């Protein structure tokens, strides 16, 4: 997929193809910035619903969505109540690294079903 535009991305998924990381990043960025119409995004989401997405597509889509805009801080609602950041973690199947526009590094920890923010 050399040229990224909504019809090309929709057609790729409609025809059973795998969306590249670049295509997913482009779609999320273009939609959140108003360069893809709601109708085109609806068509893409219908193709995704009917054809599905593989594990890597899903992870990349998740990271692109998280990196696409403002995020709310819920640290005060943590179960342990202390609101402290973790100093280490175990990663099980990490992939799909993305840097948000604000410079935050996001990592999908696939087997733990988490998107991790690295500071």
Instruction: Kindly report the length of the chain.
Output: 119
Cβ atoms of residues 51 and 13 within 8 Å: yes
- The separation between the first and the last C-alpha atoms of the chain, rounded to the nearest angstrom, is 33
Q: What confidence tens digit (pLDDT) does each residue in 30-72 have?
A: 999 999 999 999 999 999 999 999 989 998 998 888 888 776 6
DSSP 3-state assignment of 79?
Answer: coil
Domains of the chain: 6-70+82-118 (1.20.970.10)
- 78-86 — which CB contacts under 8 Å span 24+ positions? 85/119
Strand order in the sheet with 114-118: 94-99, 105-109, 114-118
Global pTM? 0.66
């Amino acid at each position: 997929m050399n040229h990224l535009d909504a019809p090309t991305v929709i057609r790729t998924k409609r025809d059973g193809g795998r969306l590249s990381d670049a295509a997913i990043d482009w779609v999320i960025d273009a939609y959140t910035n108003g360069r893809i119409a709601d109708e085109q995004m609806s068509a893409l989401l219908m193709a995704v619903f009917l054809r599905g997405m593989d594990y890597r597509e899903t992870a990349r889509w998740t990271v692109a969505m998280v990196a696409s805009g403002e995020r709310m801080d819920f640290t005060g609602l943590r179960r342990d109540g202390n609101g402290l950041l973790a100093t280490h973690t175990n990663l099980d199947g990490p992939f799909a690294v993305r840097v948000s526009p604000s410079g935050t590094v996001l990592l999908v920890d696939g087997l733990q079903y988490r998107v991790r923010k690295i500071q």
